[in-house]
Chain A
Amino acid sequence: MEQMKRRKFLGISAAGMAAVAGSSVLMPAIANAANVAGWPAAAFDAKALDAAMKDSIDTTSVKVSTKVHLTAPTIAENGAAVPVTVDVDHPMTADDYIETVYLYVDHNPTPLASAFHFTANSGQAYFQERIKMAKTDMVRAVAKTNKGVLMASKPQEVKVTIGGCGG
């Protein structure tokens, strides 16, 4: 038991709310911190995908790039904690790096699920988090470089089902 606890603790400190690899400066956007300076309240409060995208990245259409890898289960084992991983294949140098990665769930009550900020020192634009999904829906990630270039992942459907009846 002692060991388990220790591992759990280490896991928490290493991973934060979302297991993030190699990021020295990281500001996970926490949804209830509405009064924090610079908090993009409008983006997180938007009730529809278009509005959430408009408020966060100022556009509703972003070209899909094979560089943005979104991994999510095809079927959620637990809709209350769906594991999602985003990994952006892009340089992380002082003059060209991924600054922010946005994650949207099309029909969640507030479609912008998270926004993770990176710097060149992060080394890699990568994170894993667990999101809540009310029903079968599309999940999509949009990465923004420091120069403002936007690229989207291929959207992925995650099914939230009643279960049962397996062979």
Chain B
Amino acid sequence: MNLTRRDFMAMMGIAGATGFLSPSAIASSWGSGKDPYEIDDYGNVTLLHLTDSHAQLLPVWWREPGTNIGTRKQKEWGVTPHLVGDHKLEYYGIKAGTPEGYALSCMDFDTLAHKYGKIGGYAHIATLVKRYREQVGKKAILLDGGDAWQGSATSLWTKAEDMVGAQNLLKEDYFVGHWEFTYGADRVEYLLKHKLKAKFLSQNVFTIPWDELVFDPYDIREINGRKVAIIGQSFPFTPIANPAYFVPKWAFGIHPGHMQKMVDECREKHHADIVVVLSHNGADVDKKMASQVKGIDIILGGHTHEIMGPRPVKINNTLVINTSTNGKFLARFDLDVGKGKLKGWRFHYLPIISNMIPEDKEMVDYITKVRAPYAKKLAEPLAVTESLLYRRDNFNGTFDQILCDALREEMDCEAAFSPGFRWGYCKLPGETITMEDVMGQTAITYPQVTVTEYTGAELKNVMEQVADNLFNPNPYYIQGGDMIRVGNIQYTMDPGETIDKRITDLRIGGKMVQANKRYKVAGWGAMQRVEGTPVWDIFAKWLRSKKTVSAKTRDLPVLTKNMAGNPGIAYPKDYDL
């Protein structure tokens, strides 16, 4: 905790006593009856950042994870963003039960959800963005950190055109990508060239094999006589985490060396006064990149859907944030940019609590229009849920649990796998699950359900490989997903171990898995081209047949005792800790 405190004090130093909203100041503005979105103007440049909306045009329920572990080996034990529940509230000095507390923590989610309502929604975001643009005028830049084109039925069915329309109405300035690429290179190029008005930037996407940049790496914008450099960083692991066949001629990667070159070019050749990176690296990768690359003032991060807000993390001279997902937060940096350096800044991490922000008429009309052709299909009721359904967590979320149940039963398999995606919104107890909600958990361009006969050894290898994407001590191996979801598979997990040693006591249906025995496992989201029924059809069919569903228990691993007391675990009893 010492480091955290020092970190905080250092920040106070850089921002200056007046330049930093202390946690108590934040809390009081939210409770005082004053308009919590009212911000005093400051500086000569304003950055507005949103990221990872996952194509949710309408407000949704979004619960923060109950488990988001950082290990000691990773040096992330108790370090932001690997804090959950009360640990997160304590770190940022925010009271439970307040609107901000609701936005930041998983605790008492159902109760607070009823009290404060849904989060996000482009009509609400638009109101806030327009308000700030009116306030600060032309010094505002709106940056979208990617994953805006995927996650909903309408984005899938319009091949992302519904989202491009919304982005244009918001008048976004810059954009980077990840799931965007799963529409295929041709579609991406078409939308970027002919439809999207924002400029797409990436310093880390190259042609194969000649290593030429596919997109402009950066842009320089002059505001109030100062030059602001924006460098784009798309998701470095796109062809590994998602099927490579969508972008067969493009190579990705982190490329810190090339990033350094771009920063130097911006500063030396273009005389940029500040350098901002719009990143889809994920929080852990951003933190390491900030420690390696010199000369970046601010990293506006996304991908891992972290609450790394109320105050930024400072690494060397770089401020790093991560702006959540599903439209839950809008981040605002007000900057005092001097000649060649950042003189001061104020930061505001604004939860989009939809009941507290009126809808923007123009955006409502657009959303209604774009959804109209699909309205009937989206509204089809499938089943009622008796329990809270959510996905986001290091291990099985309840929504994944029933999805795995559905896959096992419908495909007649003894076990099931489901990808550890971090998108997919919540349903509250008593709500009806519609076709739209099913798509909200499954809308991808490679949705085929497969049945695979894995040997016990292969099955363990799959799980070990995925676990290493979460808990590898080198942040450059953290791909940003959660642990693979399992149906009827039991195991013990030691996140602090190394690959091939994290998983022990692996069982299916309570029986020890044999290395050479074959097991029939249902799954979806294959990396190779496969034939199969789309997962949403199978999930919907199962839900219709059940009429009411509930996920009272989850197939969670037992965590080893060295994880006891980890501030990334809100409910240790779930893991026998």
Contact = CB atoms under 8 A, between A and B. Distances in A.
Contact of B527 (A19, A75, A136, A163): A163
Contact of B254 (A74, A130, A166): A74
Given A81-B209, A136-B499, A165-B481, 8 more contacts: A75-B477, A77-B253, A161-B468, A162-B465, A165-B419, A165-B469, A166-B480, A167-B282
Interface stretch (B3-11, B76-84, B233-241): B233-241
A75 B237 contact: yes
B53 to A, nearest CB: 14
Interface of B: 178, 209-211, 235, 237-242, 244, 251-254, 257, 282, 303-305, 419-423, 461-462, 465-466, 468-469, 474, 476-477, 479-482, 484, 499, 525-527
A166 B242 contact: yes
Contacts of A163: 240-241, 244, 527
Contact of B241 (A19, A71, A159, A164): A164
A78 interface: yes
A83 B250 CA distance: 13
A42 interface: no
A43 B476 CA distance: 33
A166 B462 contact: no
A76 B241 CA distance: 11
Given A15-B210, A74-B474, A164 B525 contact: yes
Interface SS of B by simple majority: loop
Given A77-B252, A78-B244, A162 B462 contact: yes
A167 B422 contact: yes
A166 B251 contact: no
A109 interface: no
A128 to B, nearest CB: 8
A73 interface: yes
A166 B237 contact: yes
B525 A167 contact: no
A31 to B, nearest CB: 19
A77 B211 CA distance: 14
A7 B477 CA distance: 34
Contacts of B481: 165-167
B257 A162 contact: no
Contacts of A83: 209, 211, 251
Contacts of B304: 167
A166 B423 CA distance: 10
A22 interface: no
Interface in A117-167: 128, 130, 136, 159, 161-167
B479 A165 contact: yes
A163 B479 CA distance: 9
A9 to B, nearest CB: 11
30 contacts: A19-B211, A73-B253, A74-B253, A74-B474, A74-B477, A75-B237, A75-B240, A77-B240, A77-B252, A83-B209, A83-B211, A128-B211, A130-B209, A136-B499, A159-B477, A161-B468, A162-B462, A164-B527, A165-B420, A165-B469, A165-B479, A165-B484, A166-B237, A166-B241, A166-B480, A167-B178, A167-B282, A167-B304, A167-B480, A167-B482
B202 to A, nearest CB: 15
Interface in A50-91: 71, 73-78, 81, 83
B303 A161 contact: no
A82 to B, nearest CB: 11
A166 B244 CA distance: 13
Question: Most chain-B Cβ atoms within 10 A of its Cβ — which of A15, A75, A128, A161?
Answer: A75
Interface string A14-58: 010001000000000000000000000000000000000000000
A73 B206 CA distance: 13
Contact of A165 (B305, B466, B474): B466
A77 B239 contact: yes
A81 B476 CA distance: 20
A75 B238 CA distance: 11
Contacts of A161: 240, 465, 468-469
A130 B209 CA distance: 9
Contacts of B525: 164-165
Contact of A71 (B252, B257, B419, B461): B257
Which residue, A7, A71, A77, has most C-beta atoms of chain B within 10 A?
A77
